Amino acid sequence: MRRDTAAVTHVRLRHPYLDHPAPIPFAHRGGAADGLENTVAAFRRAAQAGYRYFETDVHATLDGKLVAFHDPTLDRVTDGQGRIADLPWSRVREARVAGTEPLPLFEELLEEFPEARWNIDIKSESALHPLVNLIARAGLWDRVCVGSFSESRVARAQRIAGPRLATSYGMRGVVGLRLRSYAIPAALRVGAVAAQVPEAQAGIRVVDRRFVRTAHERGLQVHVWTVNEPERMEALLDLGVDGIMTDRIDILRTVLDRRGAWA
């Protein structure tokens, strides 16, 4: 199946982070299909499969260490227990994902994968300043895009870091963009480079031709999460979305290869 070229609007490059032939394939939590999400093993496998864009999440420990992990607690995917924010790194580092893989510090991932680009979801307020400080200290401006469900949180990150930091819209920004797509006035934060969205939320369709067109008219890329079925990937690519986040890195690679869109 070939992309419906009528649906595609070329988006002017707004940030070096996006300097990749669209559509961008993102390894969601490194490719979480086998249960080893957000581990060095998962990201290593994604890199070996040819992925250059990784999606991850960050929490801060009690002593301010930035951990690449999705949940606020260790309980769901590790053999440990407790809230990360309430535990020192010396305790968190003992936990094992699926009983085998340690949790990485985000700084360790940057060192392990020096060519990778990272889409980072700031999961807690306590992680905001450590993340921005790390980005500034390491000069990672071209390698990261920061997002959050909280629009106010990601807006604060942008204010602190300035225009060098690539950001996506939080939930309030996405709602505003959806309203704009129906010609309903809504305030939108200036400076975001992407709308990173689910296909639907609470049974309401988010990503359609109208939404993609409105985003592109504002110079925004559209990245959709988390898409694991090939037919859904194909339909979204036909709409002209600019990136797909997936747990099934094998399937997305196959779909893009078939379309001649893997780069």
| Choice among 10, 20, 59, 70 that is catalytic | 70
Distance (Å, rounded) from C-alpha 8 to C-alpha 220? 13
For the beta carbon of residue 69, count every other beta carbon within 10 angstroms.
28
| Choice among 10, 15, 20, 28 that is catalytic | 28
Task: Note if 20 is an active site residue.
Answer: no
Q: Where are the alpha helices (DSSP H) in 146-223?
A: 151-161, 171-181, 209-217
Task: Note if 70 is an active site residue.
Answer: yes
Q: At a CB cut-off of 8 Å and minimum separation 6, what does 66 contact? A: 58, 59, 60, 105, 106, 107, 127, 130, 131, 134
Q: Using alpha carbons only, what angle is made at residue 179 by residues 174 and 180, rounded to the nearest 5 degrees?
A: 95
Catalytic residues: 28, 70
